[in-house]
Amino acid sequence: MLRVLEHPLASHIITHLRDRTTKPATFRALASQLTLMLAIDATRDLATEEKTVETPLESTSGRVLIHQPIVVVAILRSGVSMVQPFLDVFPDVSVGYVGLERDHVTAVARSYYCKLPPLEGRRIFVVDPMLATGGSAAQAITVVKQNGGSAPRLVCIIAAPEGVAEIARNHPDVSVHVGVLDRALNARKYILPGLGDFGDRLYGT
Ligand code: URA
């Protein structure tokens, strides 16, 4: 399943992220704001239970989240920038990291770093800002599943159709939550229109 964030504020933020004149400090702030919107949207079906509280005026019943452990798994390096917005709204989130590199001979991504909290029975969100070919994200999801995680959600700022198709092919149980679905990849596997290299835009490299 693909879910695209449809909100005027999301469109506004994405347009400024794309703009090559947007400076790193602004880029970081905008990326964080968009991730917060994605975090809220991707968790819209968290379970709740009824709770009665006293307002200063009367008693009323509302709903509160049922405690269900959440794990965010960031794909190194750019995925790290998407962790804090999740922590801002869900303070008890555990965080894992997966580092992947492409084998120059086979062109297959392999994991060179993996530090994961317990995953069994937890709601898992794999975060990576740019879903391009989908190779790294698919591999990271495989690592999550090998470590006991099931049906993680993938959260990205921009996705290419090629990346979405790769996830659907390898992990049909995974839903993909994106800020925007772009047109295509270019010959160098950059997303078009995209925003360039996310890590470079983030850190001004
Ligand atoms: N990674 C990026 O940072 N940008 C792209 O366009 C594709 C992958």
User: Ligand 1 pocket, 132 CB below 6 A?
Assistant: yes
Cα 190 to ligand 1 centroid, rounded to whole Å: 5
Q: What's the confidence (pLDDT) of residue 109?
A: 75
Cα 197 to ligand 1 centroid, rounded to whole Å: 5
- Please state, in angstroms and rounded to a whole number, the distance separating the CA atoms of residues 69 and 119: 9
* Six-digit token string for 139: 């591999």
Which of 198, 200, 201 has the most ligand 1 atoms within 8 A of CB, as the residue to mutate? 198
Q: What's the confidence (pLDDT) of residue 104?
A: 66
Work out the burial of residue 136: count CB atoms within 10 Å of its CB; fewer than 13 is exposed, 13-18 middle, 19 or more buried.
buried
Q: What's the confidence (pLDDT) of residue 91?
A: 78
Q: What separation in angstroms does the CA of 8 have from each of 15, 178, 182?
A: 11, 14, 17
Active site residues: 102, 106, 197, 200
Q: What's the confidence (pLDDT) of residue 111?
A: 85
User: Ligand 1 pocket, 119 CB below 6 A?
Assistant: no
CATH 3.40.50.2020 fits 2-203, yes or no: yes
Cα 203 to ligand 1 centroid, rounded to whole Å: 14
Q: Which residue ranges of the chain lie beneath pLDDT 70?
A: 103-107
User: Ligand 1 pocket, 158 CB below 6 A?
Assistant: no
Q: What's the confidence (pLDDT) of residue 82?
A: 98
User: Ligand 1 pocket, 191 CB below 6 A?
Assistant: yes
Instruction: Parse the chain into domains and list their residue ranges.
Output: 2-203
- Please state, in angstroms and rounded to a whole number, the distance separating the CA atoms of residues 141 and 146: 9
Digit-coded pLDDT (tens) for 45-85: 999 999 999 999 999 999 999 988 999 999 998 999 999 99
Q: What's the confidence (pLDDT) of residue 107?
A: 61
